[in-house]
Amino acid sequence: MKIYMPCFFTDVVRLVTYLPFYRIHEIELYFKKNIEILEPKSAIVYIDNIYNNIQKKLLEKFRESLGDVEFKVGNWRNRNNTWLNILRDGWEYNQETVVVDSDNVIDSIFLDIHRELGTASIYTVLDIDAWERSPQQFLRRSRFFTKIAGKDVYLYRVFVHRQTFRGGSLFFIGPKQVVVFTKVPEVEILNKLERALDRVHIWLRNFISDETLLGIVAYLMGIKEVPWVVASRHFHHGSAPGKVNEALVASAHRQFAKGLIKEFGSYEFYLYYLKYTAALVWNLRNLF
């Protein structure tokens, strides 16, 4: 695949993280470390659940202590709408974008990896903790590609049709502690995805993982496999909710699939709709 020919730069242009307001302490704990490691040309934090001027004033005081870090705020109320704003801004500024989860710290070896993988349209990073805990979770949908800086690089299939009536997602970006976009999807793709997502009830959107949205983004960009490598450390934030009801998850995905069919009409999105219609019917019994 020609897009994996090596390039000869190490600069990270745009380093981004995103988080809800109640986790802003992670900027100080982890994002500052990523800035020190990567020394990006710009560092931006997208902060969700901002709807009050007092919140903005508190954030401004906090930002002043961080140096040259830009805050972008909104009340998107879910990760996926936040991601669409990140990608749209990446297109607007025509910049390569490195997005790191707010509770992750990138390995110092990342720049060596970026030197080689930086010509791929998208590549991702897995944290060592998840790799040591359950490597097969990621390998069953991946194949070995090459070695870079002593690290194994795998290719993850973003769409697998045989998952239609099995567990697991049809669309999935793979490991996502860090996602690098050297090529940003066309604005029309982002606009259509946003309209499809807007057809999902606002309180259900967080039941759709951002790994699913990003897998769909890659698919719509014509990418079948995304390179990934193990090169970060995950510091679990400890505020995750308990197990969600599977019927609500299925309902969210089903509504999203309907929106995707309306916007794109692809056969693969009909399979996506069929999968979660069946899952919704099956899991309705858990609501009673």
pLDDT tens digits for 140-158? 999 999 999 999 999 999 9
Mean pLDDT calculated for residue range 233-239: 81
Take residue 129 and report the two structure tokens written for it: 């903790």
Task: Please report where in the chains the tokens 């045989």 appear, as a residue.
Answer: 162
- Kindly report which listed range (62-66, 124-128, 211-215) carries the lowest average pLDDT score: 62-66
Residues 152, 157, 160, 166, CA torsion sign: positive
What does DSSP assign to residue 226? E
According to DSSP, the residues that pair with 71 across neighbouring strands are 45
pLDDT exceeds cutoff 80 at 9: no
pLDDT exceeds cutoff 90 at 52: yes
Question: CA-CA distance, 218 to 92, in Å (whole number)?
Answer: 19
Mean pLDDT of the residues in the chain: 91
Residue type for 236, please? H
Mean pLDDT calculated for residue range 208-237: 96
Cβ atoms of 224 and 280 within 8 Å: the answer is no
Mean pLDDT calculated for residue range 98-116: 95
- C-alpha closest to that of 147 among 167, 119, 117: 117
Q: Which residues contact 135 (CB under 8 A, 6 or more apart)?
A: none
Residue type for 119, please? T
Q: Which domains does the chain have, with CATH numbers?
A: 13-236+243-287 (3.90.550)
